[in-house]
Amino acid sequence: MNGPNLPQLNKQHSMTKSILLHITPGLLVTGAFILFKLLLNSTGYPPLLAFLLAVFFIDIPFMFGVMLYEGRKLNGRFSLKGVILYNKKISWKVFSLIFIGAFIVLYLVSMLSNQISPFMTEHVFFWLPNWIFIDNAAQYEAYTKNILVFVFTLHLLITGIILPWVEELYFRGYLMPRISRYGRWAPLIGAAFFGLYHVWQLFGFFGVFLLGAGLGYVVWWKKDIRLSISLHIVANAVARILILVEILKM
């Protein structure tokens, strides 16, 4: 086969298939998170390590596997050609302007969502065990500096760089174009499913939904997946770097 089957490049997913492809990796990583937490209970490491292992060994391979499988059907070999559809490369000047503007907007949105998540945690998801709230700084007070440096360095590498890159390829580059029949509603629908994908932190659904919507509309507008990849990585990485800096000051 010389190239991708062009009529199949933008083949639309049914709503059921789209929901399953959005939510399945979240369900799998949540189950793996719980399993790894049980296995690591006596090791002296925080639950965050269990989550990172689940992401690295389950979440990322699943998303990449789905995309490569689709690539193999299109190209006759394992490839992302024709799978990631928003590949238009805008000029660096336009890219920079959009990146700066979008980053400011997403930062303001995150400030808003940070006011809502604690309310959801306290009043709706209060029944969940404390260890599942991996962003709660209080649960790390019992661990040594060396352990925290090790775990949060992994946190930076895995969820600050690798995961957002793969998530953008999967959710905005692969799945969103397959519901493009919904027009300008497609990024919003994808954002809702992106929020549900985060099964392990549904208490933060509102913030994840807004993030997904912002990233989705930027890509939908300019058709350049590099925008959402860079925005997502920078946002995640900066947050984790700031945490690491605080730990190193201990």
Exposed/middle/buried for 150, CB within 10 Å: 0-12, 13-18, 19+?
Answer: middle
Distance between CA atoms of 218 and 22, rounded to whole angstroms?
19
Instruction: Identify the band that residue 8 occupies on the pLDDT scale cut at 50, 70 and 90.
Output: low
> What average pLDDT is seen over the chain?
94
| 3-state secondary structure at position 224 | strand
E strand or H helix at 27, and its extent? Answer: helix 15-39
Question: 61-66 — which CB contacts under 8 Å span 24+ positions?
Answer: 62/24, 62/25, 62/28, 62/29, 63/25, 63/166, 63/167, 63/169, 63/170, 64/166, 64/170, 66/21, 66/170, 66/174
Distance between CA atoms of 138 and 70, rounded to whole angstroms?
43
pTM above 0.75, yes or no: yes
Q: What does the pLDDT look like over 14-50, one tens digit per residue? A: 999 999 999 999 999 999 999 999 999 999 999 999 9
Q: What does the pLDDT look like over 167-197, one tens digit per residue? A: 999 999 999 999 999 999 999 999 999 999 9
